[in-house]
């Protein structure tokens, strides 16, 4: 009998809750019992409350066990893990777990399924099919496919990806670049990380396709320094893809070139903003540039540059493989395709939920997430990262779609949802929003650099009950100034969490003044 395949994720968060010790225990236990086990270190399925999630391949099915700790492993083997034996941790076939089964995994189809560093495994699961099709198309036809798919940037601003690519394609230059924004600084988001760790070849494929589409032969992945596991996975994947002829000087014998390199950021949230990122890649302080010129015209080293988020580039291979129409049939209104949403914070079933746009925030939080981890009532959720609004329960009927969120002065951003229970102090969260903005401001413009510090002080005074009415009015004016006069969205959007907290949870700001009265 051949070796039985056992999967234990090497995903950074699975490791942070004990997956390495589980993998060691599986190896040791198999050796002790003389059993032939092939241990595969996959990415995470994104069912994080079940991590470390161990899977075993039995026949043509994968059976799941979780959450497993190292001390459970001996009893798992006693129960007949390798034949899918019954055990208190048994979850049945992985694909039948409701949370996973009710998703639409397009971009994340392979994450948690394959060995992330195996080109053969990637290809066996339709990897590089999009690149092969792109090699047969005119550059303009590739761009058209992406435009017709309706794909909009997943990094936050939701700009149509095809239009961005067309601008770069139409700009003459001797050298152009593809830059992947892998700075993923928003609290509550981890989809980029999961994808880079669990299916790094997909990102390489998406970037190579972008290169063919616009005539760029060099790409950089700007990766935040908090993600060392992703850095190792990407470097290994790039080396493997290059050795197999999918990257490099002669992609699959086509005579086309694409070289890819990972660059590590240095702990600056603002370097997720695209022009600041480009400055940083050039070796400078990560200060925001004035626009115009657009990066598409004058980007990295002054040359035309496509800059896209990991998830935008990760959606591209499937669009090329299955066609624009296939992708655009998912979604709602002007939000086409799927979004990998991320459930985080005080949530019972935290993890990754890839769904077509259109389900409501409440469905995501309650049906998928199961409500709070603390079993207390949900009070609010912050959607779209530290610059996103706090939504009250009354707005949980909002469909997850760019325009529906904008209509409620909120944003989807990168798809992160952070849930809070009824013990949250919203004045403290508002204060934190200003503090974070002050901490991460690049310093180029005063509304942000000075305004954020001032905003934090004002909130502290209001909470302390000092001149509440006047300070509230000043805070609102300050927010208006930051929104209208900041150079970029850090200063320009940091007021949104503050204003939403003030609007929906005013009592939290007024406790001290009321107590005094």
Ligand X SMILES: Cc1cc2nc3c(=O)[nH]c(=O)nc-3n(C[C@H](O)[C@H](O)[C@H](O)COP(=O)(O)O)c2cc1C
Out of 11, 183, 354, 421, name the contact with ligand X by CB under 6 A.
Answer: 183
DSSP code for 125: T
390/37 Cα distance (integer angstroms)? 48
268/265 Cα distance (integer angstroms)? 7
Q: What share of the chain is helix, strand, coil (3-state, %, to 5)?
A: 45, 15, 35
Q: Which stretch binds other proteins (CB under 8 A): 23-31, 152-160, 165-173, 432-440?
A: 432-440
Out of 274, 354, 401, 421, name the contact with ligand X by CB under 6 A.
Answer: 274
Partner touching 272 among ligand SF4, other proteins, ligand X, none, CB below 5 to 8 Å by kind: ligand X
| 214 is an interface residue for ligand SF4 by CB under 6 A | no
Shorter beta-carbon distance to ligand X: residue 207 or 475: 207
| 153 is an interface residue for ligand X by CB under 6 A | yes
Out of 427, 438, 445, 483, name the contact with ligand SF4 by CB under 6 A.
Answer: 445
Shortest distance in whole angstroms from residue 301 CB to other proteins: 6
The token pair that represents 516 in the structure block = 């005094």
Exposure string over 25-55, b if 16+ CB within 10 A, otherwise e: bbeebbeeeeeebeebbbbbbbbbbbbbbbb
Q: Which stretch binds other proteins (CB under 8 A): 105-113, 151-159, 419-427, 487-495?
A: 419-427
Shortest distance in whole angstroms from residue 324 CB to ligand X: 17
Exposure string over 461-479, b if 16+ CB within 10 A, otherwise e: bbbebeebeebbebbeebb
State the number of binding residues for other proteins (CB under 8 A): 60
| 495 is an interface residue for other proteins by CB under 8 A | no
Q: Which stretch binds ligand X (CB under 6 A): 45-53, 138-146, 350-358, 482-490?
A: 482-490
Helices 495-504 and 507-516 pack at an angle, to 10 degrees, of 60
Shortest distance in whole angstroms from residue 277 CB to ligand SF4: 12
DSSP result, 297-359: TS-GGGS-EEEEEHHHHHHHHHHHHH-HHHHHTSEETTEESEEEEEEEES-TT-EEEEEEBTB
Helix (H) or strand (E) holding 7: strand 4-7
| 449 is an interface residue for ligand SF4 by CB under 6 A | yes
Partner touching 107 among ligand X, ligand SF4, other proteins, none, CB below 5 to 8 Å by kind: none
Shorter beta-carbon distance to ligand SF4: residue 328 or 446: 446
Out of 421, 431, 434, 438, name the contact with other proteins by CB under 8 A.
Answer: 421
391/389 Cα distance (integer angstroms)? 6
Shortest distance in whole angstroms from residue 185 CB to ligand SF4: 12
Q: Which stretch binds ligand X (CB under 6 A): 9-17, 148-156, 325-333, 358-366?
A: 148-156
Binders in 215-234 for other proteins, by CB under 8 A: 225-228
In the 3-class helix/strand/coil scheme, how is 216-233 assigned residue by residue?
CCEEEEEECCCCHHHHHH
Shortest distance in whole angstroms from residue 274 CB to ligand SF4: 12
Out of 162, 299, 351, 455, name the contact with other proteins by CB under 8 A.
Answer: 351
Specify burial of residue 187 (Cβ count, 10 A radius: 0-12, 13-18, 19+). Answer: middle
Q: Which residue, 381, 334, 359, is CA-closest to 149?
A: 334
**Contact (CB, 8 A) for 236 and 204:** no
Partner touching 171 among other proteins, ligand X, ligand SF4, none, CB below 5 to 8 Å by kind: none
Shorter beta-carbon distance to ligand SF4: residue 161 or 441: 441
Round the CA-based radius of gyration of the chain to a whole number and report it. 24
**DSSP E strands: which ranges in 78-217?**
90-93, 177-182
Give the side-chain half-sphere CA count within 13 A for 164. Answer: 27
Partner touching 448 among ligand SF4, other proteins, ligand X, none, CB below 5 to 8 Å by kind: ligand SF4
Give the side-chain half-sphere CA count within 13 A for 507. Answer: 1
In the 3-class helix/strand/coil scheme, how is 54-85 assigned residue by residue?
EEEEECCEEEEECCCCHHHHHHHHHCCHHHCC
Shorter beta-carbon distance to ligand X: residue 279 or 508: 279
76/342 Cα distance (integer angstroms)? 30
Out of 70, 202, 281, 452, name the contact with other proteins by CB under 8 A.
Answer: 281
Shorter beta-carbon distance to ligand SF4: residue 184 or 197: 184
| 159 is an interface residue for other proteins by CB under 8 A | no
Shorter beta-carbon distance to other proteins: residue 312 or 441: 441
Sheet hosting strand 338-345, strand order edge to edge: 351-356, 338-345, 416-421, 378-383, 390-392
Binders in 264-303 for ligand SF4, by CB under 6 A: 270, 288
In the complex, the residues that contact other proteins under the rule CB under 8 A are 12-13, 15-17, 48-49, 51, 184-190, 192-193, 225-228, 263-269, 280-287, 301, 342-347, 350-352, 373, 382, 386, 416, 418-421, 424, 429, 432, 436, 439-440
In the complex, the residues that contact ligand X under the rule CB under 6 A are 153-157, 159, 181, 183-185, 270, 272-274, 307-309, 312, 488-490
In the complex, the residues that contact ligand SF4 under the rule CB under 6 A are 270, 288, 441-445, 448-449, 486-488, 490-491
């Amino acid at each position: 009998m051949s070796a039985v395949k056992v999967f234990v994720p090497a995903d950074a968060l699975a490791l942070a809750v004990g997956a390495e010790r589980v993998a060691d225990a599986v190896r040791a236990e198999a050796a002790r019992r003389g059993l032939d086990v092939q241990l595969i270190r996959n990415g995470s399925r994104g069912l994080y409350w079940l991590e470390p999630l161990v899977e075993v391949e039995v026949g043509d099915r994968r059976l799941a066990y979780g959450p497993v700790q190292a001390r459970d492993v001996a009893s798992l083997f006693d129960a007949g893990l390798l034949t899918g034996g019954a055990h208190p941790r048994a979850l049945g076939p992985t694909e039948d777990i409701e949370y996973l089964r009710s998703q639409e995994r397009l971009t994340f189809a392979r994450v948690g399924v394959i060995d992330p560093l195996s080109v053969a495994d990637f290809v066996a699961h339709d990897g590089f099919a999009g690149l092969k099709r792109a090699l047969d198309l005119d550059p303009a036809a590739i761009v058209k496919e992406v435009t017709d798919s309706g794909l909009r940037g997943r990094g936050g601003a939701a700009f149509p990806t095809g239009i961005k690519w067309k601008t770069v394609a139409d700009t003459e230059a001797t050298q152009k670049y593809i830059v992947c924004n892998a700075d993923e600084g928003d609290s509550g988001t981890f989809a980029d990380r999961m994808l880079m760790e669990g299916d790094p070849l997909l990102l390489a494929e998406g970037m190579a396709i972008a290169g063919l589409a616009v005539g760029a032969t060099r790409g950089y992945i700007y990766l935040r320094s908090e993600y060392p596991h992703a850095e190792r996975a990407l470097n290994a994947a790039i080396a493997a893809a290059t050795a197999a002829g999918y990257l490099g000087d002669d992609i699959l014998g086509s005579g086309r070139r694409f070289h890819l390199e990972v660059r590590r950021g240095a702990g600056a949230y603002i370097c997720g903003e695209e022009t600041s990122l480009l400055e940083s890649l050039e070796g400078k302080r990560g200060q925001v540039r004035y626009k115009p010129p657009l990066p598409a015209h004058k980007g990295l080293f002054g040359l035309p540059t496509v800059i896209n988020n990991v998830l935008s580039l990760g959606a591209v291979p499937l669009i090329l493989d299955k066609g624009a129409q296939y992708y655009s049939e998912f979604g709602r209104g002007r939000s086409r395709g799927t979004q990998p949403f991320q459930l985080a914070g005080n949530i019972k079933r935290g993890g990754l939920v890839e769904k077509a746009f259109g389900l409501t925030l409440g469905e995501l939080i309650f049906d998928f997430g199961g409500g709070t981890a603390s079993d207390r009532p949900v009070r609010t959720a912050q959607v779209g990262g530290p610059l996103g609004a706090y939504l009250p329960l009354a707005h949980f009927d909002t469909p997850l779609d760019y325009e529906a969120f904008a209509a409620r002065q909120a944003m989807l951003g990168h798809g992160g949802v952070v849930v809070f229970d009824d013990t949250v102090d919203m004045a403290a969260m508002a204060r934190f929003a200003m503090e974070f903005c002050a901490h991460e401001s690049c310093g180029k413009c005063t509304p942000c650099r000075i305004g954020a510090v001032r905003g934090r002080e004002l909130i502290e005074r209001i909470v302390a009950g000092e001149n509440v009415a006047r300070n509230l009015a000043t805070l609102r004016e300050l927010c208006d100034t930051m929104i209208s006069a900041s150079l970029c969205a850090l200063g320009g959007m940091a007021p949104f969490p503050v204003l939403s907290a003030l609007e929906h949870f005013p009592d939290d700001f007024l406790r001290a003044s009321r107590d005094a009265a």
